[in-house]
Amino acid sequence: MQEIKTVVTPIDFSDNADKVVRAAAYVAGTFKASLHLVFVVQNFEDYSGFFVPPVNMPNLEEELFQSAQERMDGFVDEHRQMFGEFGVTDVRATVLSGDVAEKILEYAAENGCNLIVMGTHGYKGLERIMFGSVADKVVKNSCCPVMTINPYREECEEKAG
């Protein structure tokens, strides 16, 4: 197995993102690896069978991308102290656009990722049904090991104990 120097962590800004990023920061700090946070803005092209896009769609996509970048910057700032506590000194944040699983896999391959740390659950309900499980696609197609975090694990332990 390769030495872990680069950890990629997809985030979705759901309530579970904090737990997943904490686990990823712990792993990155343990191995003195860089931590790459990635958010993927879903392409509207994926919905072409569901609706006819309005004329101003390119503007909407650009606005969503810009909003996601601002949210990512805020997310990193909010977690900066926690990164330091785990000894993570190299944190990179990237916003991409496209199919979520494909972009995560492409980013990991292009950046020499040695480990992907991601949640097993993000959003639920209709969004999960429409997109399928991103974690499942990443695990099955990744060029490097994938560590999945069940963000509901603490709730399971509390019920069992």
Q: What's the whole-model pTM score?
A: 0.83
Give the Cα-Cα-Cα angle 44, 49, 50 (nearest 5 degrees): 75
Specify the pLDDT at position 42.
82
Which residue stretches of 86-125 are H helix? 100-110
Domain residues for the domain of 137 are: 6-160
Is position 153 within any domain? yes
Q: Which residues of the chain have pLDDT under 50?
A: 126-127, 129-131, 156
Is position 1 within any domain? no
Is position 131 within any domain? yes
Is position 93 within any domain? yes
Structural domain total, the chain: 1
Is position 124 within any domain? yes
Is position 126 within any domain? yes
Kindly report the CATH number assigned to the domain that includes residue 112.
Answer: 3.40.50.620
Q: Give 20-44 pLDDT, tens digit per residue.
A: 999 999 999 999 999 999 999 987 6
Burial 87-120 (b: 16+ CB within 10 A, else e): ebeebebebbbebbbebbbebbeeeebbbbbbbb
Specify the pLDDT at position 53.
56
Q: Give 2-23 pLDDT, tens digit per residue.
A: 899 999 999 999 888 999 999 9
